[in-house]
Amino acid sequence: MALADKAFDLNQFKENASDAFTMIRIGPLPKGDRDTLKDLCSDNVYDAFDNAITERENKGEKVSTEIHAVRKTDVVSRLALNINVTRISAFDLQPTKLM
């Protein structure tokens, strides 16, 4: 990327990727907001999220996610990021079920 764009800043890229990850995980994904996810994600990532939302809806479950901190974000290949969070807790909003 840096070869194609001299203004490319790897640290800024990783920070933006981390912010996007956090935004998706606490915003449109648990809410089942497919329109926003479609705008934010590649087709294969959207399809995976859509399948997870559909499965959750079919079971009558709702999810809330808390991300306490992002520890590290790395570019692991030209096509993949590794985002390591200190803790993600997800739970069903129905008081009798926890996942």
Whether the pLDDT of residue 89 is over 60: the answer is no
Sign of CA dihedral 82, 88, 93, 97: positive
Q: Is 15 inside a domain boundary?
A: yes
Residue 5 within any structural domain of the chain: no
Q: What is the mean pLDDT of residues 17-30?
A: 82
pTM more than 0.75: no
φ, ψ dihedrals at 62, nearest 5°: -130, 150
Residue 93 is predicted with a pLDDT of: 38
User: What pLDDT does 77 receive?
Assistant: 66
Residue 55 lies in domain = 10-92
Task: Tell me whether residue 38 is in a domain.
Answer: yes
32 occurs within a structural domain: yes
DSSP 87: -
Report the pLDDT value the prediction gives residue 36, as an integer from 0 to 100. 92
> Does a structural domain hold residue 3?
no
Give the count of domains, the chain: 1
Q: pLDDT class for 3, splitting at 50, 70, 90?
A: low
Domain membership flag for residue 63 = yes
| pLDDT range class, residue 87, cuts 50, 70, 90 | very low
The answer to whether residue 27 is domain-embedded is yes
